[in-house]
Amino acid sequence: MVKVTMYTTITCQYCILAKRYLEQKGIEFSEVDITHDLVKSDEIVKKTGQNRTPVFVVEKDGQESYLAGFDKAKLDEMLGLNS
Amino acid sequence: MKNMPKPYDLIIIGGGPAGAAAGVYAARKRLNTLLITDGFGGASVASAKIENWIGTKEISGAELAIALEEHLRAQTGLVIREPEKAVAVKKTAGGFIVETDKKKSYESLAVLVAAGGRHRRLNVPGGEEFDGRGVAYCSTCDAPIFRGKKVAVVGSGNAGLEAALDLSHYASALYLIDIVDKPTGDKQTAEKVMGLPGFSFLSRVGITAITGDNWVKGLKFKDLNTGEVKELAVEGVFVAIGSVPNSEMVRGLCELNARGEIVVSRPSYATTEPGIFAAGDVTDEPFRQNNIAAGDAIKAVLSACVYINQINK
């Protein structure tokens, strides 16, 4: 069971493309918009150590992994997809 | 003996406006074409609003990327490999081989390089170390993360000015830094930025280092008038100092100018290597515009067509 959460900002174009990509791949995900949420923004920056969106948090087999930025090849690897 | 796959007529490298225009025209000319790209849209993807893509009053970077991809995928017979990145182009007896980051090789009679450019990096101590930890390149993506923080934008061309406008909604203080006297971007945008509250333009200044521990805490700069080195406390540095052409794949094969741009002949957009054509931001075209990239790529494909037809006679 894989749970995917995406952290996005409202003007982030790569976030839009990433959402479209996950939808095309049939991957369910939840989205957290951090544009106006300083608490969630600080939380994800602390977790990833990065100031980049989109951020993908993938929970798989009880483990959490993170990807900051829309890198299809790395995302496919995290999700176990063939690209 | 095992049958070798027939080479493509044309391999197009890139999926931005140049690559997309080339792909559409090559397919419509019924060239056996492969398009290799690590993504669609080109440099403009990051823009939240594009108002000069001809035929469209306003389009976002993501919408443009999707439109280009859909137009390409609608072409009959066009083979697309994405995400895949061309890393080398080599000459063979019959044409060329294009090698990719997926350890694959593809053969063709001709190649059209439309690989665009990438952000020029801030080449000072701390510039790479703090990438993603206070140093950023995409204001539409990341500006909200810098809410309430002091932020510097390095570069006063249009990209820098637009980054400053994006950041002005979030940053507590905003500095625009450049080595020139006045912003080099469009006057209208420069006037908007210069009028922002909490804004300072540090002109005739060169960044010498980015400093911090887990995160950016400041930057050092040299006053180019006095030679004095000063420090500025900031928690974000957005870099907008131009682009570097993605021409490494043809280095040694095609002539590159001092900036690493592929030198092309007009009106054919042929490079110095017969059979290799190029268009868009990877070339020595001085005007970096989506419409120009698309138009130049079409000329390049039509020239490639003539070249390929001569081989196939």
Amino acid at A53: T
Whether the predicted pLDDT of B2 surpasses 80: no
Contacts of B41 (CB under 8 A, 6+ apart): A17, B15, B16, B61, B62, B64, B65, B68, B69
Answer yes or no: are the C-beta atoms of A18 and A6 closer than 8 Å: yes
Name the pTM for this structure: 0.93
Q: What is the pLDDT of residues B95-110, one digit of tens each?
A: 999 999 999 999 999 9
User: E strands along chain B, which residues?
Assistant: 8-13, 33-36, 79-81, 86-91, 96-100, 105-113, 117-119, 135-136, 150-154, 173-177, 199-202, 205-212, 216-223, 229-233, 236-239, 243-245, 276-278
- Dihedral over alpha carbons B181, B116, A14, B53 (to 10 degrees): 80
Nearest to A41 among B48, B138, B145 (CB): B145
Percent of chain B at pLDDT exceeding 90: 96
At residue B1, the pLDDT reads 47
At residue B3, the pLDDT reads 56
At residue A81, the pLDDT reads 87
Instruction: Examine the residue annotation and report whether B138 is marked as an active-site residue of this protein.
Output: yes
Mean pLDDT (chain B) is: 95
How far is the CA of B73 from the CAs of A20, B15, B69, in angstroms? 16, 11, 6
At residue B105, the pLDDT reads 97
Residues of chain A with pLDDT under 70: 82-83
Q: What is the mean predicted confidence (pLDDT) over B241-265?
A: 97
Q: Which residues of A touch B39 (CB under 8 A)?
A: 72
Q: What is the largest CA-CA distance in chain B?
A: 74
SS3 A78: helix
- Ramachandran assignment for B177, one of left (phi > 0), alpha (psi -120 to 50 degrees), beta (any other): beta
- Closest among B9, B49, B45 to B189, alpha carbons compared: B49
DSSP string, B262-305: BP--TTT-B-SSTTEEE-GGGBS-S---HHHHHHHHHHHHHHHH
Q: What is the pLDDT of residues B115-127, one digit of tens each?
A: 999 999 999 999 9
Return the residue in B64, B138, B141 with the most chain A beta carbons within 10 A, the one to mutate for interface testing: B141
Alpha-helical segments (H) within B74-173: 139-142, 158-168
Whole-number Å distance between alpha carbons of B135 and B151: 10
Q: Which residues pair with B193 in a beta bridge?
A: none
Instruction: Examine the residue annotation and report whether B254 is marked as an active-site residue of this protein.
Output: no
At residue B162, the pLDDT reads 93
- Closest among B14, B16, B12, B2 to B291, alpha carbons compared: B16
List the 113-142 stretch of B: residues with Cβ below 8 A of A.
Answer: 132-134, 136, 138, 140-142
Please provide the size of chain A in residues: 83
- Cα first-last separation, chain A: 20
Q: Nearest chain B Cα to A13, which residue?
A: B62
Find tokens 């439109």 and name the residue: B67
Find tokens 């080599």 and name the residue: B90
Nearest-CA distance A22 → chain B (Å): 14
- In the structure, what pLDDT confidence band is assigned to residue B86 with cuts at 50, 70 and 90? very high
Q: Which residues pair with B8 in a beta bridge?
A: B108
Answer yes or no: are the C-beta atoms of B169 and A14 closer than 8 Å: no
Instruction: Examine the residue annotation and report whether B141 is marked as an active-site residue of this protein.
Output: yes
Whole-number Å distance between alpha carbons of B34 and B259: 28
Answer yes or no: are the C-beta atoms of B61 and B52 closer than 8 Å: no
**Cα angle: B160, vertex B162, B164; to 5 degrees:** 70
